[in-house]
Amino acid sequence: MTARRSKLAVTMIHARYNRTARILLWSMAVLVILQLVLGVAADKASKPLAGQLLNQHVRIGLLILALIVLRSVWRATHAPPPLPASVPPWQRLAASGAHRLIYLLLFVLPISGYVLWGWIGRPLDWFGLFDIPILFEGGDDETWRSIAGYSQVYAAYLLMALLVTHIAAALWHEFVGRDHLISKRMLQRRSTARSSR
């Protein structure tokens, strides 16, 4: 193999997230969208449906917290595949800033939601497997309830805005820029090379 071809092979090998990373990313994407819908629906619905939706919201929220911890460990031990040279610096900066903010929000939301749950405090199991412990008992002081409540609402709307921008950018790369950045990195496209991360 010539030096140029072997360099190309190395670049291509790292072009895509591996199966574990892709499963983790896509399952989180689906769960987060479902979670946002459930949160808004629980807020708008009337009893007893509101309570049932909120129960599912709490269960899925804790699952997302577990997945984001797992994803953070994965990310700390596996570098992401590099972006192609065609991506301009401002887009790299914007993408990295958006990713960091999404990570942060995916910690803020379940944690603030869990604190808020302390005031609601009804016994709840986690998909029938165990009882969700209530570590923060909501007392008479409503300060933390307000902080957690505002965090939940504003972080959720910020996350929605980021996700919409993210999806728009992905579609732009796919159909206007036509570099197929997302499908090459995040889907099983046979035209691209093997993955390693």
Q: 64 vs 181, which CB is nearer to ligand HEM?
A: 64
CB of 42 to ligand HEM, least distance (A): 6
CB of 36 to ligand HEM, least distance (A): 5
Q: 43 vs 179, which CB is nearer to ligand HEM?
A: 43
Contact call for residues 25 and 186 (beta carbons, < 8 A): yes
Q: Which residues bind ligand HEM (CB under 6 A)?
A: 32, 35-36, 39-40, 43, 54, 57-58, 61-62, 64, 106, 109-110, 113-114, 116-117, 120, 149, 152-153, 156, 159
The Cα–Cα gap between 117 and 149 comes to: 10
CB of 159 to ligand HEM, least distance (A): 6
Look at the block and give the residue holding tokens 């991360």.
197
Q: 21 vs 60, which CB is nearer to ligand HEM?
A: 60
Q: 15 vs 108, which CB is nearer to ligand HEM?
A: 108
CB of 1 to ligand HEM, least distance (A): 46
CB of 80 to ligand HEM, least distance (A): 21
Query: Angle CA(66)–CA(69)–CA(75) in degrees, nearest 5?
Result: 140
How far is the CA of 87 from the CAs of 13, 82, 83, 84, in angstroms? 18, 10, 7, 6
Other CB atoms within a 10 A radius of the CB of residue 32 amount to 22
How far is the CA of 53 from the CAs of 22, 46, 78, 130, 151, in angstroms? 28, 10, 36, 19, 20
Q: Which residues contact 155 (CB under 8 A, 6 or more apart)?
A: 105, 108, 109, 112
Q: 15 vs 54, which CB is nearer to ligand HEM?
A: 54
